[in-house]
Structure 1
Amino acid sequence: MTKTIFITGAGSGLAKGTALGLAKKGHRVIAPVETAPQVTSLMEAAEAENVKLEIFKMDIKNPQDLAQMYDYDFDIFVANAAVNEGGPLGEVPMMNFRELFEVNVFSTLETAQIAARKFVENGKGKIIFLSSMAGIMSTPYVGPYTATKHTIEAIAKTMRKELEGFGVQVATINPGAFATGFNDRSAEAKWKWYDEKIHFTKKEDMEEADQALEDQYDPKDMIDKMVEIIPQDHHKFRTAYPPETEKQMKEEEQMHWDLEI
């Protein structure tokens, strides 16, 4: 059965591929993007793939942009739009930290609230939060992003309970490390403010941690998984992928129950 799917932040990364993939499967896809240039880019990608997407600029931090959500009816809402920045939590500039929460938590919840009101009124619908392996795991120097995704996990788990009685489903999708450029941009961002003359965090420790980015997964596999899961009427509350990432997430959760300091 074809669905109408609204997916934020569709201008790049996993969401861009997923929007195109869902459209190929015959679903109606509403695909807002953050910036005006991304509108053109996504339109060209859709034309190249011979699919139709409904594309417009919607920066989720902009109240005027956000109001456009009220103009659409949809069956599934995918809260995907997010930004990423790394750095040591003991020294990250609070302005940078607040900006991540502004986008990944506050504005994201605002979009989910709009979707929730629509779905409650209709008596059905599904909200999917694009979380991350970072929603469960914690990695040194990825703390700012990790903190936002841990918050998204709490929001999703709570809303699942609160909206269930209204016929509204809530779930998360938790990708591992995929080579979309999103993680690489995050790792690069901290070097804009970090100064080894004044910060106590060791530069070589952060550089060593960044080397993990050399071994990322092919985005196509995650896109295929998202295209499979998003339209389904029933699936797990949390979809972590690939399987080795799910295993790592479960092992880390268990480890913290036994960890001593």
Structure 2
Amino acid sequence: MNNKRILITGAGSGFGEGTAIGLAQLGHQVIAGVQISPQVTALRLKAKELGLENNLRVERLDILDPYDVNYALTWDIDILLSNAGMGEAGPVFEIPVDLVRRNFETNVFAPLDLAQKFIAKFINEKRKGKVVFTSSMGGLFTPAGYGIYVSTKHALEAIAEALQNELKPYNIQIQTINPGAYLTGYNETMADNPFRWLDDSKNFTKRADMRATFDSLLGTPEGRLDPKEMIDAMIEIVPSETGKFRNVVPKFVEDMLKDHQLKAWENTI
């Protein structure tokens, strides 16, 4: 495999950080875009400790900051791994709509804007390119309590599928990566978010019931998977020039999603 120049957004922690390090260790030239300045210092120190200074460049890239985005467009890359995201959870019929808008801004509009700009750059330069979106198992089904977050990933799935078809004439590849419930802290933080606004004196949904819903999903071994499995898969998928459009890991989650989608045709009110 030829070494690639790869930009990763949301590389300050979790899958993004692990994938950035793993790809750099394989010899790829990686730019790790992180959201806040303290993450820049921390990851640069880690890169130095691992002897990766020549392969792993760390830059601040808040995808909601137009100045950061414009600077990122000066970087010469072959692959964009659009990994940055956040999650709002809670009952769809009660969650404040401004939080919904914020989640779509971070998970859909900003990644689409960044992808469009890099795609235009690839096309104008008349060369191959690739965009990989970190979606979710939640992009393919909707568990109670997570409807808003997974709706952003449903949207991302649709965008990616359209892009794949539209960009074939330009030799630009599109993929999605759909992680299961890995223990990176991301899902756990998302599950805490509703308790900023849920109020037992005002909301129909009670805090204890909401916590029980989250615990039923995240408190099992299937909800606390070792993220190394996902990171290893991403390290293989992202630079590859062949592979599946949609990449669900682990396999038992892929099987569950296929079964869920079949059963959806028999769902009744």
Q: Shorter-chain TM-score category?
A: over 0.9
CA contact (8 A) 2:107 2:153 kept: yes
CA offsets per residue over residues 137-191 of structure 1, 9 Å max, x none? 1111111111100000000001111111111111100000010000000000100
Consecutive unaligned residues in structure 1, runs of 5 or more = none
CA offsets per residue over residues 32-90 of structure 1, 9 Å max, x none? 11000110111122122221311111110111111012211111111111011211100
Cα distance in 1, alignment partners of residues 110 and 248 from structure 2: 24
CA contact (8 A) 1:69 1:114 kept: no
RMSD: 1.0
Instruction: Say if 2:98 is the partner of 1:95.
Output: yes
Range with bigger deviation, 204-213 or 103-112: 204-213
Give the structure 1 partner of residue 166 of structure 2: 162
| Secondary structure of 2:86 counterpart | coil
CA offsets per residue over residues 213-254 of structure 1, 9 Å max, x none? 123100111100100111110000000000011111111111
Aligned residues: 261
CA offsets per residue over residues 7-50 of structure 1, 9 Å max, x none? 11111110100000000000000111100011011112212222
Trace 1:81-230 onto structure 2 (pairs within 5 A): 81-121=84-124, 122-211=126-215, 212-214=217-219, 215=221, 216-230=224-238
Give the structure 1 partner of residue 263 of structure 2: 255
Range with bigger deviation, 29-38 or 197-206: 197-206
Q: TM-score, normalised to structure 1's length?
A: 0.97
Q: CA deviation at 1:123?
A: 3.1
Range with bigger deviation, 197-206 or 156-165: 197-206
Range with bigger deviation, 226-235 or 246-255: 246-255
Find the partner of 2:241 among 229, 233, 237: 233
Cα distance in 1, alignment partners of residues 58 and 73 from structure 2: 15
